[in-house]
Amino acid sequence: MSKLVVGVVANTHLLHGNHAVQVTGERNLRAVADVCDAMPLIVPGLPDVTDVAALLDVVDGILLTGARANVHPTYFDTEPHPAHEPYDEARDAVALNLSEACVARGVPLFGVCRGLQEMNVAFGGSLHPEIRDIPGRMNHRAPRLENGDIHPDPDVVFADRHEVRLSRNGVFARLLGCESIRVNSLHGQGILQPGKRVLIEGTAEDGTIEAIRIDAADAFALGVQWHAEYDPQCNPINRTLFEAFGDALAARHQARA
């Protein structure tokens, strides 16, 4: 069998403040290569550059990565606010289109952090720009120092911080063989109302939606709010999820062949 190929959606970034580049975290690429045994292909988050239909003709699956930018609130009938910037509307256009197209065509789709949020919005759901502002919710953002800077130690930033309770007999519970896991947490925005085909498969102790699947999808179509790409080489929970994604990639590749 030829090499599996996974499209990894990139983000717009201004290098040195004025040089536009498309970037994605290296851990996304290594998770795909190391655990799925696939070649990651960076996909520009630019709708005038990325032809979604042509892309899905050549890849075996799509990874929607995390990102600093929030999904633009006009996609769910909410006014934008400077406090919730930055936004990346170009990536929004690509990722939302990809979410729908993957499910429609039976292409495996794995959404991580922002990717879960994009999947929800693509199917008609809404987001809250700052989950910690909802009464009773915890602060899901990355740990910070007293001066407000994000903690410099990645092992602290990506450490498991809260429990996720999985739906009994759901896809996640079956894959992981348990009904409770612990995960990292590095997000401000989160799901407010699930989309019409978005099934909740895992929630944090405070009720924040942490794991979803798309109902009646013909292929793998799962999303997680935590950063599963950080350590699937050694974290058994995240490894199992990427292995399941890899199995779905191989099945898609074989069917196409």
Listed in sequence order, the DSSP H helices in the chain are 26-35, 52-58, 89-105, 114-122, 154-157, 171-176, 236-256
Please say whether the beta carbons of 181 and 166 come within 8 A: yes
Amino acid sitting at position 202: G
Structure tokens at 188: 């401000």
Catalytic residue (choose from 84, 187, 229, 253): 229
Under 8 Å CB-to-CB from 3, ≥6 apart: which residues? 38, 39
**Strand pairing of 180-183 and 4-9?**
unpaired
Q: Catalytic residue at 227?
A: yes
Structure tokens at 255: 């069917």
Q: How far apart are CA 124 and CA 64, in angstroms?
A: 17
Q: Catalytic residue at 102?
A: no
Q: How far apart are CA 66 and CA 19, in angstroms?
A: 21
DSSP calls for 113-152:
THHHHHHHHHTT-EEES-GGGSTT----SPPB-TTSPBPS
Count of beta carbons in the 10 Å neighbourhood of residue 122: 27
Q: Catalytic residue at 151?
A: no
Catalytic residue (choose from 113, 118, 128, 253): 113
Catalytic residue (choose from 84, 128, 140, 227): 227
Q: Which residues are catalytic?
A: 113, 227, 229
